[in-house]
Amino acid sequence: MSEDKINTLTVEEAVEALKQYKEKTGLSQSKIAKKMGVSEAVVSGFLSGSYKAMESIVPKVQQLIRVEDKKEVAPREPDFKPTTISTTVLNLISYCHVSGKIGIAYGDAGVGKTMAIREYKKHNPDTAIVITISPCFATMTGVNELLADELHVQEKISRKIQKEAVNKLRGSNKVVIIDEAQHLTVRVINHLRCIADESGVGMAFIGNEEIYIKMRGSGQAAYAQLYSRIADPEHLLTTDIKKDDIRLLFEDIDMPDEALDILYKISHTGYGIRGAVNVFLNTASAFGEITTSGIAQMAKKMSIV
């Protein structure tokens, strides 16, 4: 639908546009309502023509359709590909899952760790539990709340959450994956280790160098109980990224080899694969095509190379 047409929808056209959007996307009325910032009852009434102030909803429909149309033509991030690093992370998680051990993958940002976690979760939706640690959830209480949400634990008291979480995990054939694990304190890491020990499930800690330092300590005996339970740590660096990884990542994109060379160089900087992908997306958005000069100009504009 053209931009001009979207801006001049009648009530009848807006109702039809929303019906077509619902059918096309397969979204429920509640999810559509959330996108529009209204209640599900409003969407239901609008679609049926029974809402009292039909005209007031038309601008919200116009805004929804306009944004979604722009999303359709916007350049998309390349799909997941089994690069050297993402495969290493997948293998580590799989090992923890099968063996019931604790593992750690740590290193540079932007190398594909989180993408690998999402891919593992995608293929193991019922047996992989993923919690992402932000600073506000880095406490024992915060971690317990995240686990409670994933395990559908109803308890509200932290120690009771832990007890029920252990019971739910024991014999469940699940693996717990902790992303951004560097935010955890040693005390909370030990708390999670205890949950893994008591339940027998595997647990994979994924983060930057800090998580390894916290687990390894300085060789003190106080850290031995924690570190002795870790499988061989996987150290992931931007310098591990291979040219074939970049070629694989962008294999569906028509671009010159020289442009790939620039993206490969970007991937070896502190920006990693994420930086290469961002340069690609911004180039496609700004120029409408991928050329060597376009990639080079965008990388310079973004102060990446």
157 contacts 140 by C-beta, under 8 angstroms: no
Q: How far apart are CA 62 and CA 5, in angstroms?
A: 9
Asked if CATH classification 1.20.1530 holds for the domain at 3-73, the reply, yes or no, is: no
The whole-model pTM stands at 0.79
The residues with which 247 forms a beta bridge, in sequence order, are none
CATH topology of domain 84-238: Rossmann fold (3.40.50)
The residues with which 102 forms a beta bridge, in sequence order, are 203, 230
DSSP 208-251: SHHHHHHHHTTS-HHHHHHHTTBPSPEEE-GGG--HHHHHHHTT
Domain ranges of the chain: 3-73, 84-238, 241-301
Would you call 7 helix, strand, or coil by DSSP? coil
CATH of region 241-301, choose from 1.10.8.60, 1.20.140.10, 3.30.379.10, 3.40.50.720: 1.10.8.60
Q: Can you give the pLDDT of all 305 residues of the chain as single tens digits? A: 544 554 578 999 999 999 999 999 899 999 999 999 999 999 999 999 999 999 999 999 999 998 888 777 677 888 999 999 999 999 999 999 999 999 999 999 999 999 999 999 999 999 999 999 999 999 999 999 999 999 999 888 888 999 999 999 999 999 999 999 999 998 899 899 999 999 999 999 999 999 988 888 745 555 555 656 676 788 999 999 999 999 999 998 889 999 999 999 999 999 999 999 999 999 998 888 899 999 999 999 999 87
